Each structure stands twice: as structure tokens, then as C-alpha cells.
Amino acid sequence: MTVITELVVDQYGAHLSKHQGRLRVGKKEELLAEAPFLHLEQVLIIGRGISLSSDVIEACCQEGIPIYLLDYRGQPYASLYSAGLTGTVLSRREQLAAYLDERGLAVARAVAEAKIANQAAFLRYMAKYRQKAAPDVHHTLRTEADAVEACQEELSRLEGLRIDEVREKILAIEGRAAHHYWLGIAAVLPAAYAWPGRTGREAQDPINAALNYGYGILYGQVERALLLAGLDPYAGYLHSDRPGKPSLVCDLIEPFRVPAVDRVVIGLANKHARLQLDERQLLDTASRRFLAEQVLQRLNKPERYAEKRLALRSIIQAQARELTTFLRRERSDFQAFIARW
């Protein structure tokens, strides 16, 4: 019997209800899914026309099960947590104070360096298996990986005392690294996907739509980790403040984009997996469900971290806790996650 730990609900007209220690998903008279609250770790509600009872919300909050709400593009628009899920006052005071001193800059630099390092490593990882089979692609991947690593070296030489002094420089370096990274990705994607280059919101092709959708799922994992670690998701460092923008989530998600989402999507594309858009230029229902399953499985895969092997989702939580202790000056530095390939 399969134990359901992540429940994805994406059918229009579905309803979530509580029944004898279980969460039930039904549609009219049909039972679509059922999961005991005991094993459930998260609920993803994706799309429109889905309802849930207040009993479900209460039970999930009591059991510490977050409910994430995403639109059809994978963009999160709400999360439901227990009202008691807040950090200590000291942690949040230090988080805000760090923006004005060297700690904020250290966090921004760490997440940017880790993101760029993971991009370069992923390109080299893909190049390794194409040296004989596709020498031209191998050369392109190696060339672009070199260019990405040059950006990482440039970032390591950047000097400053506060994040406001160098934010634009960090973002510019990160942007140049991303340019070379996506050029490398373009070299390995099958022509059938008609990759136009990286686009964010309103993507009109299946690869960009899949990446955006995967990032939306990852977003919820990072937000939950920060809340459990006692931090405010809306007070970040690398990403500037804006009403409604969870800047710290945007910061901490950066090192995990490549190992948690890019690797999954590019791997599926090279296996010619079914990733298709519907008439609205959104991933169709089957593609969304399949991709969500793949990303969630990836988050449960172990990676090497701090001389241990931990699931990626556990590493995200560990990173959030380490960030808290760094901001509280209980550790001397913060090192963002760099995957080993």
C-alpha cells in the first residue's frame, strides 16, 4: 500500500474534506484520493474551482501540514499554516538588523555564489556524458561552464560592507552567469521543444512552463523551511523589498533551483517525456501532474550535505536553520548549498 506524503489536488470541481483522521478528495460522488493526516507532509492545491472545508484547514494546522495554493502556471498565491507558526522575536529582530550590516551582504553573496556554482557544475555534468557522443555539444557546455565560473570568480572579488552598496553589482554578475547557463541548456534540449531561451512568467513553450511550474513547487518548500526556522519570508537581502514579495524565499530558493528543478525538467526533456501545453498555453493537466510528482520525488532524493546524506527537502530545512543561527550571531558564517555531481 502506497503511503501518501504529498497530496496534489488539481482537478476542477474537487473538494477536500476530513473523515476519521484522513483527508479525502472527492468530486461529486467519486472518491479521488484519501490520505491519513499521520503521514501527510503537505497539500498542493493547483488551479481553480477546488474547495476545502474549515475542518480540513484546522486539522492540517494542528498536524503541522502546510497547504499551498498555486495557479495553473505554478505561481504560488497563498499558503495556509498554523497561526502559532512564528519565530522567536529575537530571530526576527536580528534578521531585520542584519540588513544594515555585514551579515545581510554575506547571505546575499552566499546564495548568489551557490546558485552560480550549481549552474556551472550542472553544465559540466551534462558535458561529461557527451564528449564522444556529441563533441560539438560537449564543447559548448564546457565553454559556457567556463564563462559561468568566471562570473563566480568575479563575485568572490566583490567588496562592500552592506548589501545596498553592491546589490546591483551582484545581480548584474548573476544575470551574466544566467545568460551563459541558459545558452548551455539550449545546446542539450531536443529541437522538438522549440526552446526560445529562458522566459519567466507568461511562458509560451513547454520547457519554460515546466521550469516555472517546478519553481512554484520549490517555493513552497523554502517558505515552509524559513517559517519553521523562525524567520520572516518577506525580509530578504539579495532580492529587494517590494510589497507582497517574499524576498527571503527568493534568496534561499536560488541554490536549489538547479538540483531540485532544472535537473528534473532537462532530464525529462532529454528522455522526450510528455510536456505539453493546452490551448491556453499552459501545461495541460497530465503534464502538470506528472511534473509535480517528479519534482516532489526529487526533493525526497538524498544528497551529500555536511558529511551526511539527506533528502533535498531536509537540506532546505537545515539551510534555513543555519541561516537563523548565523543571523543571531551563533555561528561565524553561512554557506549556501552547493550540490555535488
Considering the domain architecture, whether residues 173 and 294 belong to the same structural domain is answered as yes
Considering the domain architecture, whether residues 205 and 312 belong to the same structural domain is answered as yes
Q: Which amino acid belongs to residue 246? A: P
pTM: predicted TM-score of the whole model, two decimal places: 0.89
pLDDT tens for residues 287-304? 998 999 999 999 999 999
The mean per-residue pLDDT over the stretch 163-179 comes to 97
Residue with C-alpha cell 526533456? 269
- Give first-to-last CA distance, the chain, whole Å: 33
Domain assignment present for 110: yes
Domain count, the chain: 2
pLDDT tens for residues 235-273? 999 998 888 889 999 999 999 999 999 999 999 999 988
Considering the domain architecture, whether residues 59 and 97 belong to the same structural domain is answered as no
Q: What distance in Å separates the CA atoms of residue 184 and residue 68, rounded to the nearest whole number?
A: 33
Contact 244, 206 (CB under 8 A): no
pLDDT surpassing 80 at residue 87: no
Domain assignment present for 303: yes
State the pLDDT confidence band at 2, using cuts at 50, 70 and 90. Answer: low
Domain assignment present for 112: yes
CA atoms lying within 13 Å on the CB side of residue 116: 29
* Range(s) of the domain holding residue 54: 6-65
Three-state SS annotation for 119-184:
HHHHHHHHHHCCCCCCHHHHHHHHHHHHHHHHHHHHHHCCCCCCHHHHHHHHHHHHHHHHHHHHHH
CA 328 to chain centre: 25
CATH number at residue 275: 1.20.120.920
pLDDT surpassing 60 at residue 1: no
